[in-house]
């Protein structure tokens, strides 16, 4: 909020004082309008941020997908990371791409973002999956028996996140669990870990899935600007 104060001006004569007073009154509406416009501009800027990051393709959400979820891909990814409610992104990455690729990617991301930010990503990513499964289950969603594994599953989860050839974490989550559950989970993350951690999770997830795609030979997949 921008705060400004008008400094009173005093004159030696009553006539000059009245003149200055009249001038100050005429400036007050202009000052009020300027402050309102600046506050409105600030509000407009804030409205383009959600969950700690820019909305749409400027962030990691891309264009929202409002269709039906791919529950087979969802439950297969969940179980690749462990029993429902106990997801591990490290275990899932190993199941999807193998030990060599998983170990190299963990080392790369740790170096690229730093240990603190990477560990925050791991914590929030694991929570995201567990929370999504909990919300879906409580809503009565019936997951099928998982049948997808390994590189076939890896390729599928990458493709589910593509918008015009670019991977966005938000697009993938919409496809896996619906946009409504995706947004519910993001709100839960904001409450539990804060919007900065939410944004950090999306940023690193964009990079990680881009790296996974290229490790799988999907060289046409592009990296989101928010990474």
Give the C-alpha separation, 203 to 222, whole Å: 14
- Dump the DSSP string for the chain: -----PPP---SSHHHHHHHHHHHHHHHHHHHHHHHHHHHHHHHHHHTEETTEESGGGTT--SPP-S---HHHHHHHHHHTSSTT---HHHHHHHHH-HHHHHHHHHHHHHHH-HHHHHHHHHHHHHHHHHHHHHHHHTT---------HHHHHHHHHHTTEETTEE-HHHHHHHHH-HHHHHHHHHHHHHHT-HHHHHHHHHHHHHHHHHHHHHTT-TTPBPPS--
Q: How many Cα atoms occupy the beta-carbon half-sphere of 156 within 13 Å? A: 19
Task: Say what the pTM is.
Answer: 0.78
Query: What pLDDT is attached to residue 56?
Result: 81
Distance CA 108, CA 93 (A): 14
Predicted pLDDT of residue 218: 97
Q: Judging by beta carbons within 10 Å of its beta carbon (0-12, 13-18, 19+), is residue 5 exposed, middle or buried? A: exposed
In the prediction, which pLDDT does 60 show?
82
State residue 53's pLDDT score: 87
Residue with token string 């100050």:
24
Q: What is the pLDDT of residue 114?
A: 97
Give average pLDDT by consecutive 10-residue segment, the chain, 227 residues. 34 34 40 40 52 85 94 97 94 96 97 98 98 95 95 97 97 96 97 97 97 96 95
Torsion sign (Cα): 63, 184, 43, 54: negative
């Amino acid at each position: 909020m921008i705060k400004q104060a008008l400094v009173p001006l005093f004159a030696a004569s009553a006539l000059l004082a009245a003149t200055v007073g009249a001038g100050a009154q005429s400036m007050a509406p202009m000052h009020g309008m300027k402050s309102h416009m600046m506050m409105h501009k600030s509000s407009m800027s804030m409205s383009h941020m959600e969950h700690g990051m820019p909305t749409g393709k400027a962030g990691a959400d891309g264009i929202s997908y409002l269709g039906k979820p791919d529950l087979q891909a969802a439950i297969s990814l969940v179980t690749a990371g462990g029993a429902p409610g106990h997801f591990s992104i490290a275990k899932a990455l190993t199941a999807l791409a193998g030990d060599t690729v998983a170990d190299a990617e963990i080392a790369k991301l740790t170096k690229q973002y730093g240990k603190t930010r990477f560990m925050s990503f791991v914590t929030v990513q694991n929570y995201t999956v567990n929370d999504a499964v909990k919300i879906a289950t409580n809503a009565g969603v019936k997951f099928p028996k998982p049948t997808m594994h390994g590189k076939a599953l890896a390729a599928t989860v990458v493709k589910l996140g593509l918008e015009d050839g670019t991977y966005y974490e938000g697009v993938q989550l919409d496809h896996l669990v619906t946009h409504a559950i995706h947004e519910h989970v993001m709100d839960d993350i904001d409450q539990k870990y804060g919007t900065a951690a939410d944004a950090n999770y999306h940023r690193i997830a964009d990079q990680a899935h881009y790296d996974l795609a290229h490790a799988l030979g999907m060289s046409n997949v592009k990296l989101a600007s928010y990474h």
